[in-house]
Amino acid sequence: MNKRLIASAFIIVAPAIATPASAGDAVYGKFPVTLKSWMGNETNSVAYTGQIARQVLHDSLKKLAGKGNGKPNAALQAEMMLYFEGKGKNRKILAPTSKGPFVIKQKTVGEISNPNLAGKTYKGTVSGMPNNMTGPELIKFWIGKAASANKGVDMANGYNYPQLISKFILGAVFYHQAVDNYLDEKMTAGNKPNNKPYKKGKHYTGKEHSWDEAFGYFGFPAHGLMLSPSQLYDIAKRKPTAVSIADANSDGKIDLYNEMVFGPAYYAAGSDKSKKTAYAKTIGKAFLDGRKLIASADGNALNSSQLGQIAQYARVIEENWEKTLAEATFKYAGSCFKDLQAIKANPSDAKVLAKYVKHWGELKGFSLAMQTGRKNLGDTATRLNRLIGFGPVMPNSSQVIDIDSGGNYVKDQASGINEYMGHMLKVQKLIVDKYGIKARKNDQLAGMSDMLKKLGSGSAAEND
Amino acid sequence: MPILDWINGEYIPHLLDGFLNPQKRVSLLYLSIAAALAIIWSVYVSRGSVRKGFLIARDKLFSQRVWFSHSARGDYKLLLANHALLLLIAPLLLSKLTATTALFFFFIDIFPSGAAVLSSTSPLLVAITYTIFLFLLDDFSRFATHFALHRVPALWAFHKIHHSAETLSPLTVYRTHPLEAVIFSFRAIVVQSSAISIFVFLFGSSVDLVSIYGVNAILFLFNVTGSNLRHSHIPIGYGRLAEHFLISPAQHQIHHSLDPNHYDRNFGAALAIWDWIAGSLCKSRTDMVLKFGLTDRENLQSQKLLHFYFSPFRELFDRGRNDPFYRNRNHRNLTKNAV
Ligand SMILES: [Zn+2]
């Protein structure tokens, strides 16, 4: 690692970490093998290759979803399904790929691991879409639609499938698996104990590996705690300037396994760039501290106080992760509002409409992602789903209200763009009220508080 | 000492802000402009004699008689005490932002298709409309509040404190009972939150205010044209025609006058049109000689803070006891006896 990087990393991380004895201390890199029954000569118990491979499958699937030419395309659909529920070591990494000096080490998914997405997708019903589909059913439905849409976008109904599929998976696979599985039941006393291997023949314990898997779903580089939000952001964007920041082992290549930033961490960093939040750092630090705690048990079962502490770290991760999804939903509700304003000013501008459909896909995807966590969002979910609807309200006021048994969209006249703009504002208010988010990008209500500030406080005691 | 910290950290800075911030009526900027206007007016009424003009200005605006009178010292006590009191109760009052947001979503609920209907209007036009609308609404609400303070006996008991000033200086603007201050801040909340929520609702985004030094441009003009002289002994009039539209300093002095013909006249703040419409307009004359204050005996005597704060409550209590069916149709006879 180059010296400048270490030095700058120290400046950034030093205040955030309680006892940074060295930069290595802030890296989710190497933890000793503590499993007492293990006789092999492995020295590192950390492993989360399956999770990173799924990040890559997600990125590649998103890319494929935008490849359609507007006509039914069975081959494309089959290829998407290969990335969603298939297996196969030779699946090429379609994204992220090398970009200029940002050279990526792996070319195939199999070089990392060989899992699928479907098996780990939220199995509950998705109440924000018609027909009570489960998570995997909804993604398969969208894959089918994407295959026959032009560049993955259905401009008549207002669906941008790459966005819908991608944003939903950020919740339904990554967030869901981390907070509702690995950080939840797998962190209880009776499950995946720390004095036994995770699986027969593995050199890491049940708790070590469960924790690592959750970490892998966050998509955070091992040295991520030493990086600023904009550095994390630049890595995800594969910027030339980010090469030296990402390439922690200075081998000239970015290792997707532990040097790359993926979706969940990218959105956390996106909020953090506002300097009003520190989601990525908070989540990354809770993961690291939790892992240190598990390592300190030295291969013994965790006692109740250790389990209690682990549960606390897990709650910090969950709470902050949930907020990153809420921030994104908030942000895209604001984008849709602005797009609708532009559409009203210029109804025939196809570019503006395409932007709206894209932003709506992100809004819908993230709002559904929020509903795949450990908790049932109850009334909040109902209200979010009603406000956003099954599809965007289009310039001619039409909106998808159902999907028939043949998988065709059923449309109706909605009460108009203006009312839907009001819905977007209500989404923003609902999210602020329920989640107290702070970054609040594209805040359409902030204008009112600015206007109030302009009027000043006056003096109430002035008499006429 | 937490109290000292509070005085240093909150009280004093807020107090100073009142004199430095151009959003406040008695900021030094407006006070100096008022002083200059007073001198110019004095020279004018002395038919151009600068020496005589300065003497008049000194006598009417800069004399001990004005700034150190019994009445002026009463103003200062109220100014200093109210300032502390209002700082302490401010957090208890409804937040403007809460009110604005609530109103905004209320409009969206009752009139969903109206949201952002005017969003393609030019920003400049919107800003001008908003600035004028806000000024009109604000000024009318001041008139209406002031009208009620005089006409509702229970409210007059409090507003009387303001009218008990016998000498007027720009700081008399702060001679206010704290309960009135609560009413005034409620008025400001209603005006600002409705103006902002209506405009954001109709135009779909935040709207600019046409402003000068961060102040509503119209209000700025009002302040630089001598709003501070309304509480003074400089009777600048605007002439018979203009006084139908704008309240001159002399017209507001009429509002404070002891002459029975002047009772309940000129409630307006900046605009005279509300008084004109309501029939309460009284134009100034160059030959008027005004006396200020109340004829009520107790009010003539006391400039004590406790008296200011509690006498309205005692008055209401006594009235209620003496005459439970008290209905005041002509409160002036009870409170301001003709000289
Ligand atoms: Zn009055």
Confidence of residue B16 (pLDDT cuts 50, 70, 90): confident
> What's chain A's average pLDDT?
92
In-domain check, residue A464? no
Output the six-digit token pair for A430. Answer: 């609902």
Co-location of A259 and A404 in the same domain: no
Last residue of a domain, which of A304, A319, A334?
A: A319
A57 and A141: one domain?
yes
Query: How does the average pLDDT of chain B come out, rounded?
Result: 85
Q: Residues A311-322: pLDDT tens digits?
A: 999 999 999 999
Same domain, A312 and A327: no
HSE-up of residue A434 (Cα within 13 Å, Cβ side): 21
Q: Read off the pLDDT of residues B33-46 as tens digits, 9 standing for 90 and up.
A: 889 999 999 998 88
Q: Which of residues 87-126 of B touch A (CB under 8 A)?
A: 96-97, 100-101, 104-105, 108, 112-117, 119-120
Q: Does B295 touch chain A (CB under 8 A)?
A: no
Q: Bridge partners of A400? A: A411
Provide the residue type at A427 as one letter: V
Domain end among A289, A319, A349: A319
In sequence order, which residues have a C-beta less than 8 Å from that of residue A205 and are 6 or more positions away? Answer: A34, A35, A45, A192, A193, A194, A195, A196, A197, A198, A294, A299
Q: Is A260 exposed, middle or buried (0-12, 13-18, 19+ CB in 10 A)?
A: buried
Count how many pairs of residues, chain A against chain B, have C-beta atoms within 8 Å.
122
Amino acid at B272: A
Report B:179-208 residues touching A (Cβ under 8 A).
180-182, 184-185, 188, 192, 196-197, 200, 204-207
Is ipTM beyond 0.95?
no
Q: What distance in Å separates residue B146's CA from the closest CA in chain A? A: 7
Does residue A172 form part of some domain?
yes
The answer to whether residues A126 and A8 belong to one domain is yes
Q: Is the pLDDT of residue A208 over 50?
A: yes
Kindly state the average pLDDT of the residues B20-30: 81
A75 and A208 housed in the same domain: yes
Chain A interface, best mutation among B119, B202, B254, by max A CB count within 10 A: B119
Angle (CA) B78-B82-B86 rounded to 5° is: 170
If one compares A355 and B109, the residue with the highest pLDDT of the two is: A355
Give the nearest chain A residue to B138 (CA atoms).
A455
Mean pLDDT of the B106-123 span: 83
- A388 and A296 assigned to the same domain: no
The count of domains in chain A is 2
pLDDT, average across residues B154-160: 92
Look at residue A5 in the predicted model and tell me its pLDDT.
47
Whether pTM exceeds 0.80: no
Closest approach of A444 to chain B, Cα-based (Å) = 7
Do A20 and A74 fall within a single domain? yes
Share of chain B above pLDDT 90, in %: 37
Confirm or reject contact between A429 and chain B (CB < 8 A): yes
| pLDDT of A19 higher than 90 | no
Residues A32 and A51 in one domain: yes
The whole-number pLDDT of residue B286 equals 84
Does residue A387 lie in a domain region? yes
The mean per-residue pLDDT over the stretch A27-50 comes to 93
Domain carrying residue A362: 320-455
Query: Does residue A394 carry a pLDDT above 80?
Result: yes
Residues A449 and A302 in one domain: no
The pLDDT of residue B95 is 81
Q: Which residues have C-beta within 8 Å of that of residue B201, sequence separation ≥ 6?
A: B104, B107, B108, B114, B115, B116
Question: Which of A220, A215, A51, A167 minimizes the C-alpha distance to A120?
Answer: A51
Domain shared by A289 and A254, yes or no: yes
Given this model, what pLDDT does residue B47 score?
85
The angle subtended at Cα A33 by Cα A28 and Cα A39, nearest 5°, is 155
- pLDDT greater than 60 at residue A7: no
Residue A461 falls inside a structural domain: no
pLDDT exceeds cutoff 80 at A251: yes
Q: Domain for residue A377, yes or no?
A: yes
**Does residue A212 share a domain with residue A305?**
yes
Q: What is the pLDDT of residue A77?
A: 97
A460 domain residue, yes or no: no
Residues A210 and A333 in one domain: no
Domain end marker among A299, A319, A339 = A319
Does the structure show a pLDDT above 50 at A17?
Answer: no
Tell whether A145 is covered by a domain.
yes
Answer yes or no: is pLDDT of A389 > 80.
yes
Lowest-confidence region among A10-19, A226-235, B99-108, B183-192: A10-19
The least confident of A29-43, A65-79, A152-166, B95-109 is B95-109
- Is the pLDDT confidence value at B298 over 70? no
3-state helix, strand, coil in chain A (%, to 5): 55, 5, 40
Tokens (6 digits) for A239 = 């910027």
Residue B18 burial (CB count, 10 A): 18
Cβ-defined contact of B215 to A456 (cutoff 8 Å): yes
**Band of the pLDDT at A11, cuts 50, 70, 90?**
very low
Please indicate, yes or no, if residue A249 is contained in any of the structural domains. Answer: yes
How far apart CA A172 and CA A139 sit, in angstroms, is 10
Question: Which position has the higher pLDDT, B222 or A8?
Answer: B222
